[in-house]
Amino acid sequence: MHALFELLKPVNGSEIVNYVWTLLMQLPTDKEMLCDMTTGVDAVEGVWERHLPADASAAMKLYALKLIEAQVSLDVRERGEEREREAKKRRIEDGKDSWCTSFVRSGGLEHLTQTLLKVDFEVVGAGDNILFPLRSITSLAKLTAFFLGEKADFGGGVRQVLLQHILSMISKTTEVVTGGGEGGSRSKEEYCEAGEGGEQCLLLLRAMIEADFDDVTGSLLGEYKESFDKALICGLLITPVAGVRVTCGNVMRETWCKEGTQEGCSGVHSLLVLMFEIMASCEKPEYNERSEELFRLTLALLNKVYSEDKGGAVEAGELKRFEGYFAQGGGELVGATPAISKGDGTVRDKLLRITMWLSKEVSSRDVREGILDGSVMIYAGPRA
């Protein structure tokens, strides 16, 4: 088995590495690794450093990560079965913890997080064979998100560093995909793996937000806003992978568009400004199809603000500041987007529908007039 792991190193060429990987997936699991990761999680000192070392090849890391994924799936299934009374009683009598509990206690989650933080995308993107690094990223993000959902905590300091790293990875996976399309150097399989990696990073971002909404969103809309905006632009507009765009939109809806997810509308205001700017970019023919996705997301964000306002959750000062954006130039930004065509369904038509929706909702006369001015600009076309 160790001889096969040696062959998984990139220096042996992608064809040999892929062949060896296929062979490994058909062979029984490494006995020593299986034993340590199942029955010896708490007993074997440094079990995760031993089987998921920092200097291991991406393929060898992926082998260990796949085994961890299998154990997590088994543990979740067993916990579901143990809802039955007798099974619960048996676990209490045996005094056994779940595998996931033992994994976290033995330092497994901490090691996963550190492994994810050590991913260098500059190296990954420059490699000849990026399949295994991308698959490892996908697995690491998926596992970390799962344990966050299980209420496991890895500390505020690590959370901030991980948050910044995840935003960068969302952008970098998009660069891998678009770089492949531009130069034709990426295979279809690499394209799909980069897309899957981007989706899992977005889902990890959602898990981090759900774990600590106020702290994480405060960072996203504050010190990390530039990185967050770039990640959203990549996830909603630039990526050609439809699945990534859908996931990014869903993450935003589930995070900011649900009632009761936050007090006030300051965060939504910041996101809406970005939405209008992104939608303006849909004037480019290659991005035109994105306009419908962005239109629905923008309306969902707007509806969040005014549904919260009707419920008394939005402070008057916040709503005034939000509407002031449109009075002071938002309408001009919306109206400055040139039409791609005059047919229904264009970017211009969608922006017009948004401004008309707003004009019915706002209470301020000045703001309403500003929005209507924006509608006139949309109808008349951009200024010369």
C-alpha 300 chain-centroid distance: 19
Enter the tokens of residue 82: 């143990």
pLDDT in tens, 339-371: 443 434 566 677 677 777 777 776 666 666 666
Q: What's the pLDDT score for residue 167?
A: 95
- Which residue ranges make up each domain of the chain? 1-102, 107-227
Which of the residue ranges 132-141, 208-217, 279-288 has the most confident prediction, judged by mean pLDDT? 132-141
Angle at 249 between CA 245 and CA 254, to 5 degrees: 145
158: CB partners within 8 A, 6+ apart: 113
Q: Is the pLDDT of residue 304 over 90?
A: no
What average pLDDT is seen over the chain? Answer: 76
Interval 248-257 mean pLDDT:
84
Annotate 322-356 with b (16+ C-beta within 10 A) or e (fewer): bbbbbbeebbebbbbbebbeeeeebbbbbbbebbe
Q: What's the pLDDT score for residue 194?
A: 87
Q: Is the pLDDT of residue 26 over 80?
A: yes
Enter the tokens of residue 33: 């690794």
Residue type (1 letter), 244: V
Angle at 112 between CA 233 and CA 240, to 5 degrees: 25
What CA–CA distances, in Å, run from 338 to 288, 370, 377? 12, 19, 10
